A and B are shown apart, each in its own frame.
Chain A
Amino acid sequence: MNGQKPPEGRRTDAEAEELSCEESLALMYEFLDGELPAERNETVRRHLQICRRCYPHFDFERIFLDYLHEAGSAPQANPDLERRIRSLIAEESA
């Protein structure tokens, strides 16, 4: 699926190979999520050091993912819920 298959005829040696922008973008989320194997991760990192086109995409997505993570903070539960749970537990322990 995304990023799993390189275009025909490319990439036979993961270590030596340079990524195209298309390939680096295909690996973007796996890279940002820390899900790439070390060598692959390094190849993307090297690409980002030299590619001014890809870098802002990665930067943007990183900001977005941090935002998502922080925004997940908890709303308040209804106080009735806590009361209900307390009394159920009290019932069970009686």
Chain B
Amino acid sequence: MGIAVVARGNGRQRTIEDRRKEFEAEALPHLDALFGLALRLTGGDEPRSEDLVQDAMLKAWRSWDRFESGTNCRAWLMTILRNGFINLYRREMSRPVKVEFEEIAEGHGSGSLYEADPEGRVFDRLVNDKVLRAIEELPDEFRIPVVLADVEGMRYQEVAETMGIPVGTVKSRLFRGRKRLQESLHRFAVEQGYLP
């Protein structure tokens, strides 16, 4: 097991052991965040999420020399994981998706949850696992843009590029995805007795 020596920015020589310690200290604390993102993206598929996290971490480790210390490690790891997921997803999804032509026919206003609870009070009462479950239950084509835009805060353009779909499609899927989520949350709220 030769001691590999790697030069970095300031020319300081570091052993592979130094690098590994550094990686473990800087990258591994983000494991839960990565797992959370993977769960959202896969719709709650734990084994698949663990695989995604593991692949992302190994990829990150292999390119650790290219990561600039002090920059946003979490964002870098998230990008690696997201790209890994999207590559798989695109491969699986090379067949066309059927939602394109069920466009937004039901008007633009808010839906039934708004009618029942216009001030959104119920959001304070619904615990997170309800919304997480509602997200998980969304079909891929709605869940992925919702996770990328609403949970991760990506711009429409970034979502479009990540998913390889037009911005207009991102907009319509976000619209439908959000409305579906509201419907599920409405149902949960009624089941829990928070709303009549």
Contacts and interface: CB of A to CB of B under 8 A. Distances in A.
Task: Note whether A and B form a binding pair.
Answer: yes
Interface of A: 1-4, 22, 25-26, 28-30, 33, 35, 56-57, 59-61, 63-65, 67-78, 81-82, 84-86, 88-90, 92-94
14 contacts: A25-B107, A33-B149, A33-B156, A60-B114, A60-B120, A63-B120, A68-B135, A69-B150, A72-B151, A74-B32, A81-B53, A82-B31, A88-B57, A89-B20
Contacts, number: 137
Given A75-B32, A75-B35, A93-B19, 11 more contacts: A2-B104, A25-B108, A25-B109, A60-B120, A71-B151, A72-B152, A74-B35, A77-B50, A85-B28, A88-B58, A89-B57
A64 B118 CA distance: 11
Contacts of B103: 1
Nearest to A80: B50
B175 interface: yes
Among all A-B residue pairs, the 8 with the closest Cβ atoms: A74-B36, A72-B151, A77-B35, A63-B120, A71-B131, A25-B108, A67-B123, A26-B108
A2 B53 contact: no
Contacts of B108: 2-3, 22, 25-26, 28
A1 B104 CA distance: 8
B36 A56 contact: no
Contacts of B191: none
Interface string B161-177: 00000001101101100
Nearest to B131: A71
A88 B54 CA distance: 9
B178 A92 contact: no
Contacts of A77: 31-32, 34-35, 50, 53
B51 to A, nearest CB: 10
B139 interface: no
Interface residues of B, number: 59
Contact of B24 (A68, A86, A92): A86
Nearest to B121: A63
Contacts of B152: 72
B24 A65 contact: no
A35 B156 contact: yes
Interface in B146-196: 146-147, 149-153, 155-156, 168-169, 171-172, 174-175, 178, 181-182
B40 interface: yes
A81 B20 CA distance: 17
